A = this chain, B = another copy of it.
């Protein structure tokens, strides 16, 4: 088995977008699409689309294009969306609750199996029919239930310690919403979502662009 060259993160970050557009096309009953047609729709160059897809294999057919349904399933498989993931949320605040609901609605393969909290007033409650458990028991739970993903919705201060515990307990990935950059051992994937940073870059674009001239 030939070792494949590492695929750049820029490519990976485009895959979910390809998939979204393919899903829509599929819903509309479109059978095939050429890289040129796809380019017009999605806003990447046709060249980039072909390059991106060819990182994973030749999914198209010369003279014809790409099968919408076929490509949709290929990309889903590449992303690992043909598998199931067991997740725990840490922090039952507003954001934690929203994530529970959000994923509940949209992501069939991503199952939130428990929520962990330190606040005794919240422990024992059910959010979206998922139990809020005592943070004390998190390691035991994650180990026993073979949890894949930990979702960190804690304060900034607690985040790294929570991450360390989750990694120790054996999760394969962390989805971090706390406003710090979480560090994980090399074998644990990490996706930092910095909502505040996102809002700040929006603020820049609203008014910053023309005001900061050098000299």
Binding site for B on A (CB under 8 A): 1-4, 6-7, 12-13, 15-17, 19-20, 43, 54-58, 77-81, 83, 85, 93-95, 97-99, 101-103, 106-107, 110, 148-149, 172-173, 175, 179-181, 189-191, 193-209, 212-215
Contacts and interface: CB of A to CB of B under 8 A. Distances in A.
Contact of A203 (B2, B79, B94, B215): B79
Which 3 pairs of residues, A with B, have the shortest CB-CB distance?
Answer: A98-B98, A189-B205, A16-B197
Contact of A16 (B110, B201, B207): B201
A58 to B, nearest CB: 8
The winner among A15, A17, A207, A215 for most chain B CB atoms within 10 A is: A207
Contacts of A200: 15-16, 19, 79, 81
Given A106-B196, A172-B207, 14 more contacts: A2-B213, A7-B209, A20-B179, A43-B181, A56-B212, A57-B215, A79-B204, A80-B204, A81-B200, A94-B101, A95-B101, A97-B98, A175-B198, A189-B205
Contacts of A106: 179, 196
A190 to B, nearest CB: 8
28 contacts: A1-B213, A3-B213, A4-B214, A6-B209, A13-B197, A16-B197, A16-B201, A17-B181, A20-B179, A56-B214, A57-B212, A79-B201, A80-B203, A80-B207, A80-B208, A83-B203, A85-B206, A94-B97, A94-B98, A94-B101, A95-B101, A102-B195, A106-B196, A173-B203, A175-B198, A190-B202, A191-B198, A193-B195
